[in-house]
Structure 1
């Protein structure tokens, strides 16, 4: 790359920050307060921040040294074969559209501030309107309309101005005595009898990992840097900035309201906390910005799953019709399939007590599969090239993802296996269509498929028996 062209380190750092911040930061405090006091929350942020930094550095290294890999899911295929590529790519696809379900819940909850009909975000009117928005965005993308630079600028402003305003006001109204009261003890009514520090720590992991979903896109921006060295530094600075923003936005309210009050506040929490801080105009200020930001992000994430399956079709991991484009250059089959699945899941939310947390947990669990392969490939690639510094970065990235999903809830990973059932069929059809390995699954692929199907069946049975709550 020409050293005189591309993004400067400052511009790249800003891009890393703005492209990673989504709707999750606006709901953080209440979600965290439902299971943890301020002390365990800060401890969890330290661990999650380190793990995500290792992941981002791994992605940055692989992008620089293996630029021909198109899409973050391609690293699994490059390092561990076609079936691993399918598992990673399908997990990325699942995560992308499950994230839209979480967007739908937050959007309806935000509209509920202005129109009580939608309050809570998971009643019949909310599902109907969310369905209309989902299919409307699918129609727009299918017509070949993409997110323009001007629109991205507006979305970024709508996210950052309310966010920074909230943080500044939060600093001024912060009360040290309130913050240090029960610093390590869970007094939330949601946890009977309280909980120890370890239990509180574990309750934070999935929520915190959710707000970093999409960090792989920020890392990919490093290919537009003026130099590789600047890309690495910008990635580190960007992740640290993100961590500071997330910590302040989620922890400052512990110094304004009690943990019990924060846990009971409606979602999106930031909207109602800011209203309590400054009055009614504060809720409207956060609400309007959040609604615009979600619609913009939802548009981008409507394109993302379709792009993912299109890339997989190009790599012969899915049948060709997943990548077939209409006259507007959009993959219609992928778009319609994704919208139909979102529709089904929106109906499921009517019966879920914690719709938003359930959607974000499944989204995070699905993308963790992809991140695990990134860490594993970073370890393998660095070991083969005798780069021990990058080897250890990959090792810690891999270790964090494996340990975090184990502590946060393996049952979510089991539920994600249900989403792989149709994917395995499509993978088999691709092998048959392209006459790969004689048009059949290999012995190892059959064994892996049986394991996925077994976990899916077990999770279905556990849901039916009430052992897994949705």
Structure 2
């Protein structure tokens, strides 16, 4: 990546508050981190921010995840419950952090404010990787459902072309401005939420326990199988930080970011748990393991024929398009905040119609290249591989964010604050941190290995940017 001819402005390393404030409250005397929200311009309200969170969480994940975790057996349902509790804990932590620093950038802003430039850069770099790799995974998942509507006959060139179209069309919507991003997000969330609820609830009436398969199908033991399933299921909950990432675009972010994060996560959790249970109980286990469109298979099993599966395929494509729309915006927000602080090339910090256009274009180009490189393994194989890469890269900023929350709690521990609130916030922060560590452990050596390579490659970018700031 090339930087602009002018060197980025010198960023001030945050050194913590001069006077620590009460736990969970903004410090006094702290230099701002990340771009300050503009007073003008169109902002997201609570409804749109909640839709952004739900739209990003309920994307391709719910439509592909049941098949991805079926090889582990019904222990994956237990993993889903545990993961839901952890995701809500993370949402609460992000809400508390956003009240401290309601600026665009989310996990990057929190890590840099607490621990300095390098931690902030690692968080931004890792989260940025997560966003465009997730876009590649969502596009791959969308192709599986497109094949239900328009048979692609397993033609790799056709599948690649379709996957690229699913990535570039939302990118064009983003380049048109944030007004269109919000509109697309609201419409896609409504259109997909209703049919998903119908399948999730209706499927329970066709539930057959014989379809569930063994509890521990992988033979790893319930603990090992649950951890491995959770590593894949994490992809389903990516997006819990969406409102925090776009805090600078949210109206009254100190209040609405936390509310939108919790409401969006809780709503998505209900749909996820009921939907996955319905699919497990309507599609025979051996068929589900090899399915490329599990929700379509579930509806076909419920009502017979293929009309139901076709309708669900349409809903799935609407859902994934909405998720790609939201994730494309997020893919530009993390490097945007870092660029404003001089930690990413300055081009990432330039906006047009409220959207960091360079970040959108670079992210979608990288996602497209990754899609082409990995499609040879087939849609389901490519999806599983891409999901595991995001497990590691997403967990790094989650860990740093929860560590930042604990840091501020410790800094404020000597102040006169409500003891019950301090204990509650500390338990919540420790739980979210332990949850993130558990996800790393379940990702497996291959995912951690690939994720570390992606992460460490960014050190060269940091060295380059840091060197330019010293000139």
Q: Post-superposition shift, 1:292? A: 2.2
Question: Which residue is equivalent to 1:166?
Answer: 199
Task: Report the secondary structure of 2:241's partner residue.
Answer: helix
Q: How many residue pairs were aligned?
A: 415
Does structure 1 conserve the Cα–Cα contact (< 8 Å) formed by 2:59 and 2:138? no
Query: What is the correspondence of 1:314-329 to structure 2 with a 5 Å cutoff?
Result: 314-325=340-351
How is 1:245-264 mapped onto 2 (pairs within 5 angstroms)? 245-264=271-290
How many Å separate the matches in 2 of 1:30 and 1:260?
10
Deviations 1:403-426 (A, max 9, x none): 221122243132123333553232
Counterpart of 1:34 in 2: which secondary structure?
helix
Name structure 1 gaps, 5 residues minimum.
1-5, 440-470
Unaligned runs of 5+ in 2: 1-43, 414-421
Q: Does 1:207 align with 2:207?
A: no
TM-score for the superposition, normalised by structure 1: 0.79
1:69·1:75 contact (CA, 8 Å) conserved in 2? no
Tell me the distance in 2 between the aligned counterparts of 1:227 and 1:28.
Answer: 33
The answer to whether 1:24 aligns with 2:55 is no
- Alignment of structure 1 residues 45-444 onto 2, 5 Å: 45-67=80-102, 70-117=105-152, 119=154, 123-142=156-175, 144=177, 147-175=180-208, 177-178=209-210, 184-186=215-217, 191=218, 194-218=219-243, 239-265=265-291, 267-278=292-303, 279-325=305-351, 330-352=355-377, 354-386=381-413, 387-420=422-455, 422-435=457-470
Distance in structure 2 (CA, Å) of the matches to 1:226 and 1:425: 34
Alpha-carbon distance, 1:83 to partner: 0.5
Aligned counterparts of 2:239 and 2:136: Cα–Cα separation in 1: 15
Q: Aligned partners of 2:176 and 2:264: how far apart in 1? A: 34
Alpha-carbon offset, residue 232 of structure 1: 6.2
Query: In the alignment, is the contact (CA less than 8 A) between 1:124 and 1:350 conserved in 2?
Result: no
Cα separation, 2, equivalents of 1:225 and 1:323: 23
Cα deviation digits, residues 101-147 of structure 1 (max 9, x gap) = 0111112111111222165xx82211123234434544554454753
Distance 1:303 1:280, change over 3 A: same
Greater Cα offset, 215-224 or 366-375: 215-224
Contact 2:99 2:254 in 1 (8 A): no
**Conserved in 2, the CA contact under 8 Å of 1:93 and 1:309?**
yes
1:359 is displaced (CA, Å) by 1.1
- RMSD, aligned α-carbons: 3.0
Look up the match of 2:419. none
CA distance in 1, matches of 2:118, 2:253: 36
Q: 2:98, 2:106 within 8 Å by CA — same for their partners in 1? A: no
Deviation string for 1:170-224 (max 9, x for gaps)? 011113x426x755242xxxx5xx4432232123112221111001124679975
**For 1:316, what is the secondary structure of its paired residue?**
coil
1:340 Cα deviation from its structure 2 partner: 2.8
In 2, distance between residues paired with 1:226 and 1:424?
32
Matched, 1:41 2:76: yes
